[in-house]
Structure 1
Amino acid sequence: MMAPLRVLELYSGIGGMHCGLNESGIPGEVVAAVDVNTTANEVYKFNFPTTPLWPKSIEGITLKELDALCFDMILMSPPCQPFTRIGLQGDISDPRAKSFLYILDILPRLQKTPSYILLENVKGFESSEAREALISTLQKCGYTYQEFLLSPTCLGIPNSRLRYFLIAKLQNEPFSFQTTSQILDEFPSSISVGPDCTGTDYCLGGDSQATMDQNLSSHPCGTNALPDKTLLYKLETAEELKRKQIQNNDSSVHMLKDFLEENIEMSDYFLPPKSLLRYALILDIVKPTSRRSTCFTKGYGHYVEGTGSVLQTATDVEIDSVYKTLDSLTEEKKLEKLSSLKMRYFTPREIANLHGFPADFGFPGKTSIKQQYRLLGNSLNVHMVSNLITILLQSH
């Protein structure tokens, strides 16, 4: 039996990496978690009260302090803002990338080179100067590595959250699969993944799900893609609607109802009238029986546009019958029609479920709903981390 790994968790947030380590079943102890976000740290301490939490900047940690930890693994999710596609893309010139560059500077100087590294970031990181610096440092330190662009849909989870991942290990311990310089958009075919993977070739056939998530409408569906009388309600293209239909018909993905809370006060989460009227045409609407939802961001529940799907709870009302008459209605009647769908936000617990956080994961009582949405929007998918840790520790 292997000795427990000593794990350093950088940019620890609310503990998604820690949860992934626990789920993987790999014996390990987080010897230090580091983050500067006060609210996130409160949530982390609430869930992992015995883990040493360092509420300080990474640049403020000395080489001596890091050497004293004698860690075997680094788990990290550096700030994504320098690399996100909708941001300024400042890359390494962005002040928020400073701490990551510090890690790359200090890694070759550690007395004990950690055996394993797992990094997560947004799509866009793979084409950044920061990524080039990372790869250069890993090669200098004697690591082999594999990069991925993966979405939880590959594990049968009905939520699109395409992210960049990198796993690396020292060259004296080979991977259990053939690595490649290409960025993989699926788990290695020789690897058994779980807990939600169906065990089929879902992750491996045709166009991978990650590719589908990456490209909302990457190619035309053709003239026969949709029946002539299909109603394109809202501001959707035929390609977008076709993509959603394909996802909803994929039985290898769970239905959203498997992740929903029971006995909640739904009225607390209904979209307010102003939001219904203003954003009706751009809402991404799903039902409990849907097998898809869009990526939830930190603005969910506060902003509407592009922050995540909303749930239609009046499942006996046909959405087409509501939308096809909106243009001809008065504002009052329009609101009445839209309200009949009983659309609500997903609760923080439901988003946590989709992210793979365990049932006993919670928030301190003083954490507001808005803060919970923000923290979850900045977090990652626990199941993805768990599977990648398992792959990282496997060997021939």
Structure 2
Amino acid sequence: MKQLKQKPTVLSMFCGCGGLDLGFHQNGYDVVWANDINEDACLTYEQNLGTVVRGNIEDLEMPNIEDLDVLLSGFPCQSFSNAGNRKGINEKRGNLYKFTLKYIKELRPKVVVMENVRGLLSTKTESGYLLPEICESLSSLNYEVHFNLINASHYGVPQNRLRVLVVAINKDAQIGNFHFPEPIRDTELTLEKTIFDIPEDTPNQDEILRLNPQAIYLGSFVPEGGSWKDIPTEVLPDRLKRIRDNMEKYRWPNFYRRFRRDEVAGTITAAFKPENAGVWHPVENRVFTAREIARIQSFPDDFIFCGRSVKANYEMIGNAVPPKLSYVFAKSIKEILKGENLPQREPVRYFSQIKYGTTPIKVGGPEIIFDKNVQNEEHVEYEQLDLLSVIGE
């Protein structure tokens, strides 16, 4: 077993309020450099975790960190998200992943962890798909790249939250072999067990997003476990009446979803729209409080959100990586940094074995290991890509 430094070092790009970092912090890592551009998120990070470098990553000088253990990157996801604008790489934010590659190239961390929305799987570029191009760039830097679509609820988070996780291992570092950790089972994740016992004086529990009167009125018709299907047609606004009259055209939406207390919550998003997401309290005529969505995101109650508005707190919580999800991966990565090999819990898939873009990547399926010199269904080769050169040497 290798001698592990007392506190493995972490650099965190696009850290937000610190959900991803918190899981590593709880495992004894030292976050030596973190950055975000959002002032509200930075205030919260400083309150709970430590120093953060404010500013646009494009304008910052890269820190000089030797022997970096882990680089974390939750590069902005709105450009790839189904809940966002889906402009992908055609939007400026959709190109910030290139700075992650630049930092990796210069700092050569032993392990890289990237987290993003499911839409990253289907984001296209001029030559193919973005995720394989990122994997090829990492592979060209001599990283072994693992990725998969996971549900955060499989790792102890009381929320059905689908995300793409990429873990890249520096082959030159001579550390242990990585595999995605075993899901956590037999954990009670229902809303009743998650949010029904919060003391009134818990920080951020008194913060609740103000809704327009019409939204509150419509939500009052929805019983526990119901949705807009329970709202009488005659009280619906004309816009929703048109949708109800032609459900197939609008892809069978399910507005004003109110989960039952014995269900697992749906995805908490930064937008937090009471019409489009299941954010209504199971039994009270209101949406979740800021602390309740923090609980659903698996933040501990002593993690205080310091945004300058209630809306800012909702947004940063929705944007965060659930700390319990981060904790599981941080623990596994600590083992391989010691030189231990993680068990392979099921047969893996190699990228060359799937028709990327045609074969669905399903939650709970085997992890995928990227292998070089492969082709997708359109016979686009992902070899000798120029992603690294576009941001300079």
TM superposition score normalised by structure 1:
0.66
Question: In the alignment, what sits opposite 1:298?
Answer: 270
Question: In the alignment, what sits opposite 1:66?
Answer: 63
Q: Does 1:89 align with 2:86?
A: yes
Q: Say if 1:310 and 1:391 are closer, same or farther in 2 by CA, change over 3 A.
A: same
* Equivalent residue for 1:118, pick from 113, 125, 131: 113
Q: Is the 8 A contact 1:297 1:308 kept in 2?
A: no
Partner amino acid, structure 2, of 1:61: L
- The sequence identity of aligned pairs, in percent, is 23
Aligned residue for 1:344, secondary structure, equals: coil
Residue correspondence of structure 1 range 280-295 to structure 2 within 5 A:
280=222, 281=228, 282-288=255-261, 290-295=262-267
Higher relative contact order (CA 8 A, sep 6+): 2
Question: In the alignment, what sits opposite 1:169?
Answer: 169
**Displacement, 1:253?**
4.0
* Equivalent residue for 1:307, pick from 242, 263, 277: 277
Question: In the alignment, what sits opposite 2:37?
Answer: 36
Q: Say if 1:146 and 1:363 are closer, same or farther in 2 by CA, change over 3 A.
A: same
Question: In the alignment, what sits opposite 2:296?
Answer: 354
Tell me how far apart the structure 1 counterparts of residues 304 and 66 of structure 2 sit (CA, whole Å). Answer: 28
Count of residues in Structure 1 that have an aligned counterpart in Structure 2: 289
Tell me how far apart the structure 2 counterparts of residues 268 and 59 of structure 1 sit (CA, whole Å). Answer: 34
Question: In the alignment, what sits opposite 2:315?
Answer: 374
Question: In the alignment, what sits opposite 1:104?
Answer: 101
**Displacement, 1:92?**
2.2
- Indicate the larger mover: 115-124 or 93-102: 93-102
Tell me how far apart the structure 1 counterparts of residues 300 and 218 of structure 2 sit (CA, whole Å). Answer: 36
Q: Say if 1:360 and 1:170 are closer, same or farther in 2 by CA, change over 3 A.
A: same
Gaps of 5+ in 1: 178-186, 199-251, 314-341
Aligned residue for 1:286, secondary structure, equals: coil
Question: In the alignment, what sits opposite 2:352?
Answer: none
Deviations 1:86-138 (A, max 9, x none): 44433223211333213324532x2x511011110000112334323321121
Tell me how far apart the structure 2 counterparts of residues 362 and 371 of structure 1 sit (CA, whole Å). Answer: 13
Tell me how far apart the structure 2 counterparts of residues 376 and 294 of structure 1 sit (CA, whole Å). Answer: 14
Q: Say if 1:67 and 1:157 are closer, same or farther in 2 by CA, change over 3 A.
A: closer
Q: Is the 8 A contact 1:253 1:291 kept in 2?
A: no
Q: Say if 1:20 and 1:153 are closer, same or farther in 2 by CA, change over 3 A.
A: same
Partner amino acid, structure 2, of 1:45: E
Q: Say if 1:101 and 1:295 are closer, same or farther in 2 by CA, change over 3 A.
A: same
TM superposition score normalised by structure 2:
0.67
* Equivalent residue for 1:262, pick from 183, 194, 198: 198
Q: Is the 8 A contact 2:151 2:162 kept in 1?
A: yes
Q: Say if 1:271 and 1:107 are closer, same or farther in 2 by CA, change over 3 A.
A: closer
Tell me how far apart the structure 2 counterparts of residues 133 and 45 of structure 1 sit (CA, whole Å). Answer: 34
**Displacement, 1:273?**
4.7
Report the RMSD for the aligned CA atoms in angstroms.
2.6
Q: Does 1:144 align with 2:86?
A: no
Higher helix share: 1
Gaps of 5+ in 2: 124-128, 223-227, 229-254, 342-393
Tell me how far apart the structure 2 counterparts of residues 29 and 91 of structure 1 sit (CA, whole Å). Answer: 33
